[in-house]
């Protein structure tokens, strides 16, 4: 029987790729978004597709979706540091009230619920690489606290609905992901560097560039999330690419790929910027049979045309 899914934040970067993934798997998709940081253009090409429906709505208010639902994927949230610094209250609300509403709907519909959580739950980690049993090192009152604590609350709420209401739940902890449909101006490191390199402007490395991140291409991430959704795993699961780079190395890679002669300049490191980040993906390998397939150079090459068309 055809399944039916609700994707909150469905017009965002990850949400829109998930809409495509589920439609391709013969699932009907209700894409819900208030277009605060999402963009209707990300899903415009899906409007003619059978089984696709778009609803403009804020998930922090009461949500009503007519008809049955088998899956609810809760991806609504500002997700870049610049976005959640500019939208701190909305970020807290969508992680808390929005997660509560989406879980209530899952309970009502008997749907399986998947929460988009984040490596930010590990904060500025004291354990490296990060595996799911690490509880994190988060500053609740710093500028990133609005995102980190909202997602930690969302995880707690999700586990409570699983334990006390018997809702089937999945939690994915998403590490840095990149690919087409990231917003050029969202301030994240990849759009920032690609935009700068393509315009011939200096690449702005924050701090001394020795902090590390591990970058996953969006197709790999979406495949991992789809597998998790279909699995029986109801504890948090890391999905990300364990290839780890310093931000300075990353700037050099992006500059080279763009064939740019931009210089690299150094700016102040944002408050509480994690010094290291790399997922331990042993669990995803073991439980989901998943590991990323696209390496950084290949993924950057597949991302470049999208930004070239927009700069």
User: Judged by CB, which is closer to ligand UDP: 82, or 230?
Assistant: 82
Q: Which of residues 3-32 bind ligand UDP (CB under 6 A)?
A: none
Closest to 76 in 3D by CA, of 30, 108, 41: 30
How near is the Cβ of 229 to ligand UDP at its closest, in Å? Answer: 24
Measured distance between the N- and C-terminal CA atoms of the chain, rounded to whole angstroms: 44
User: Judged by CB, which is closer to ligand UDP: 5, or 189?
Assistant: 189
How near is the Cβ of 85 to ligand UDP at its closest, in Å? Answer: 10
Q: Which of residues 48-77 bind ligand UDP (CB under 6 A)?
A: none
**By CB under 6 A, is residue 158 in contact with ligand UDP?**
no
**By CB under 6 A, is residue 204 in contact with ligand UDP?**
yes
**Catalytically annotated residue among 71, 84, 122, 147:** 147
User: Judged by CB, which is closer to ligand UDP: 70, or 273?
Assistant: 273
Q: How far apart are CA 189 and CA 150, in angstroms?
A: 22
**By CB under 6 A, is residue 266 in contact with ligand UDP?**
no
Which of 74, 101, 188, 226 is close enough to bind ligand UDP by CB under 6 A?
A: 188
**By CB under 6 A, is residue 273 in contact with ligand UDP?**
yes
Does residue 147 have an active-site annotation? yes
**By CB under 6 A, is residue 262 in contact with ligand UDP?**
no
Which of 4, 17, 181, 213 is close enough to bind ligand UDP by CB under 6 A?
A: 213
**By CB under 6 A, is residue 240 in contact with ligand UDP?**
no
**By CB under 6 A, is residue 206 in contact with ligand UDP?**
yes
**By CB under 6 A, is residue 255 in contact with ligand UDP?**
no
CA dihedral for 240, 217, 74, 167, sign (positive or negative): negative
Residue 251 to residues 80, 176, 203, 208, 260, Cα–Cα distance (Å): 18, 15, 7, 12, 11
Binding residues vs ligand UDP (CB under 6 A): 80-81, 176, 187-189, 192, 204-206, 211, 213, 247, 270, 273
């Amino acid at each position: 029987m055809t399944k039916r899914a609700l994707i909150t934040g469905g017009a965002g970067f990850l949400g829109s790729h998930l809409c495509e993934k589920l439609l391709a798997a013969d699932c009907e998709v209700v894409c819900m978004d208030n277009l605060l940081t999402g963009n209707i253009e990300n899903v415009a090409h899906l409007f003619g597709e059978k089984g696709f429906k778009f609803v403009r709505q804020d998930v922090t208010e009461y949500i009503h979706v007519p008809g049955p639902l088998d899956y609810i994927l809760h991806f609504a949230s500002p997700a870049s540091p610049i976005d959640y610094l500019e939208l701190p209250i909305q970020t807290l609300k969508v992680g808390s009230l929005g997660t509560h509403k989406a879980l209530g709907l899952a309970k009502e519909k008997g749907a399986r619920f998947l929460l988009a959580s984040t490596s930010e739950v590990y904060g500025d980690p004291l354990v490296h690489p990060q595996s799911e049993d690490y509880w994190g090192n988060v500053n609740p009152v710093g500028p990133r606290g609005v995102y980190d604590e909202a997602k930690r609350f969302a995880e707690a709420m999700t586990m409570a609905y699983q334990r006390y209401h018997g809702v089937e739940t999945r939690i994915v902890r998403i590490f840095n992901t990149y690919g087409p449909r990231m917003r050029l101006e969202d301030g994240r490191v990849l759009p920032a560097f690609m935009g700068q390199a393509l315009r011939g402007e200096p690449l702005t490395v924050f701090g001394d560039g020795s902090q590390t991140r591990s970058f996953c291409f969006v197709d790999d991430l979406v495949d991992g999330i789809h597998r998790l959704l279909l699995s029986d795993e109801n504890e948090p699961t890391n999905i990300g690419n364990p290839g780890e780079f310093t931000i300075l190395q990353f700037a050099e890679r992006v500059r080279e790929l763009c064939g740019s002669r931009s210089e690299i300049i150094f700016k102040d490191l944002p408050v509480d910027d994690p010094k290291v980040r790399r997922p331990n993906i042993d669990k995803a390998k073991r439980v989901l049979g998943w590991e990323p397939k696209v390496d950084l150079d290949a993924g950057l090459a597949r991302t470049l045309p999208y930004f070239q068309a927009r700069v």
